[in-house]
Structure formats: structure tokens, C-alpha cells
Amino acid sequence: MSTAANASPLHQIAIAGASGRMGRMLIEAVQNAGDAKLAGALDVAASPAIGADAAAFLGASSGVKIASDLREGLKNARYLIDFTRPEGTMAHLRVCRELGVKLVIGTTGFTDAQKAEIQDAARDIAIVMAPNMAVGVNVVFKLLAQAAKALKEGYDIEIIEAHHRHKVDAPSGTALKMGEVVAEAVGRNLQECAVYGREGVTGERDPSTIGFATIRGGDVVGDHTVLFAGIGERIEITHKSSSRATYAQGSLRAVRFLASQPHGLFGMDDVLGLK
């Protein structure tokens, strides 16, 4: 029997936001993956890229044209990777649920109602949703849980994040996830203890709070630091992204994980076996 006959079938993947920075990184990752094939590319109707070959920016031809019609863009796909905005992702989710297309969601900034709708859709399709698809960040989440349990007494907790000037939500979804991980580990409710800004005469720091500081500027891909500040020492756990390629590679790992999942909502901790 030939090698080709023994080969595993290619993962047929569509990319949302195909002409954006992250969309292009995802397309390049799919094009270079030996076990994946670009099967669709989506963008908003107003995009000047509509109708163009999805890999044209690479000086290559994928045979896939960027489309604004969701059903047209998803008709050959078994998976959709989506790093767009909440409103767009929710529209994609509904069509994916209808068509049985599995979904990798890297979008952040969802409301509680939108998260509930994603959870409901997972009864019918398999979904990986994570605020950060980078493998290293998800390892950091695990480290933070361990550190927070040991440092919950006598240490002030601050989360500092920096991103490029084009990011529209703050704090980042990754920073909020870090806050949730730490808060759970120390037995607090993040919604009740988070402080998102300080100005003027604030008084002494409440030791039960978790502070957030946000920086926006230039082309910073994504830096996150959790600071545990005690008396006489500081512990910092930091992750810095120098390229969006790490998010793209993590997304491909999520697709491979979803191949064996008929339905359900999963995180990157499931994908990476960190639970």
C-alpha cells in the first residue's frame, strides 16, 4: 500500500479575519503544516481583500478566495479558527453550529451572555476557546495557580499587560484569565476584588485586591507579568510574545485535538494535557 494511502486525512481549516494580522499568520501556518489544508477564508464585506486569493500576501496561490458569505466560506471546511471580535465570532458560531463545523476561538472580550451562547453551542459542536492560544502562556497559567496558593498571605498581587496600539479591549483576555486563575487559587472572586485603575488619593492598598495595569503602544505583540510583592521580596512570573506565530501554532494544536471530539467546550489546558 502506498504512503499516500496510509497518510492521515488533512484537517480542512477555514480562517476568519483572513486579511488581518492574525488571520494572515494563521493562513501561513496552515499553508506550512503538513497535516492541514486551507479550505476557506472569511472577512467582512467591506474588506478590499474580498475575492482575492487568501495566500496572495505570501506570493502564493491557495486556490481559496476570501469570502464574506459565511456559508460559502465554510462549505468545504471542517474547522474554523476565529481571532476576530465578539460580534463577528458570534455570527460565525451560529453558522458553524448549523453546518457542524468545529471551532477554535481566540477572540476575547465576550459578555457573560455571549459566553453562555458559546457554551450552549458546544452541545452540538466541539469548541476550543482560550484567551491565549500560546503554549507558553497556558503553562504560565498552571504556574500561577501553584504560586498563588503558596503566596496568598502577605503578598500583593498586580497584573501588568502591554499590547500594540491597535488592540481594542482592555485589560487583555489573557490578563483577565491570569486574574481568574490567581483569584481562584487564593479563594477570591475576581469580579469583587479586581482594581482596574488608580488615580488621585487612593488610600493604602487593600491587600485583598488584585490590581491590573494596561499599556498600549507601538507594535507590542503581548507582554504579561503577574507580580507577587511581599515584604523584602518580589516574585514576577512573565510571558512575552515576540511573534503571533506562537498563537497560530497553538491554534493548530487545538484543531488536532478537536479532531477526536464530537462536541463539548474545551480550553487549551485540555489541548495540552495540563488539567
Residues 69 and 105 placed together within one structural domain of the fold: yes
Distance CA 253, CA 25 (A): 15
Residues 90 and 220 placed together within one structural domain of the fold: no
Residues 93 and 119 placed together within one structural domain of the fold: yes
| pLDDT confidence of residue 3 | 39
Residues 34 and 116 placed together within one structural domain of the fold: yes
Per residue of the chain (275 residues), give pLDDT as tens: 333 444 567 999 999 999 999 999 999 999 999 999 999 999 999 999 999 999 999 999 999 999 999 999 999 999 999 999 999 999 999 999 999 999 999 998 899 999 999 999 999 999 999 988 999 999 999 999 999 999 999 999 999 999 999 998 999 999 999 999 999 999 999 999 999 989 999 999 999 999 999 999 999 999 999 999 999 999 999 999 998 899 999 999 999 999 999 999 999 999 999 87
- Mode of pairing for the β-strands spanning 222-229 and 234-241: antiparallel
Residues 182 and 125 placed together within one structural domain of the fold: no
Distance set, CA 237 to CA 42, 190, 225, 229 (Å)? 37, 19, 6, 11
CA neighbor of 83 nearest in space, from 172, 136, 166, 16: 16
Q: Which of 102, 163, 224, 239 is catalytic?
A: 163
Residues 72 and 96 placed together within one structural domain of the fold: yes
How many domains does the chain divide into?
Answer: 2
Distance CA 257, CA 126 (A): 10
* Residue 11 appears among annotated catalytic residues: no
Strand, helix or coil for residue 79: strand
Residues 152 and 249 placed together within one structural domain of the fold: no
Distance set, CA 113 to CA 14, 20, 191 (Å)? 26, 27, 16
Residues 235 and 261 placed together within one structural domain of the fold: no
| pLDDT confidence of residue 275 | 78
Residues 140 and 122 placed together within one structural domain of the fold: no
CATH number at residue 221: 3.30.360.10
Residues 81 and 168 placed together within one structural domain of the fold: no
| pLDDT confidence of residue 4 | 40
| pLDDT confidence of residue 8 | 62
Q: Which residues span the domain enclosing 139?
A: 135-241
Residues 44 and 65 placed together within one structural domain of the fold: yes
Residues 116 and 233 placed together within one structural domain of the fold: no
CATH number at residue 109: 3.40.50.720
* Residue 75 appears among annotated catalytic residues: no
Rg of the chain in Å (alpha carbons): 20
Q: Which of 75, 142, 167, 263 is catalytic?
A: 167
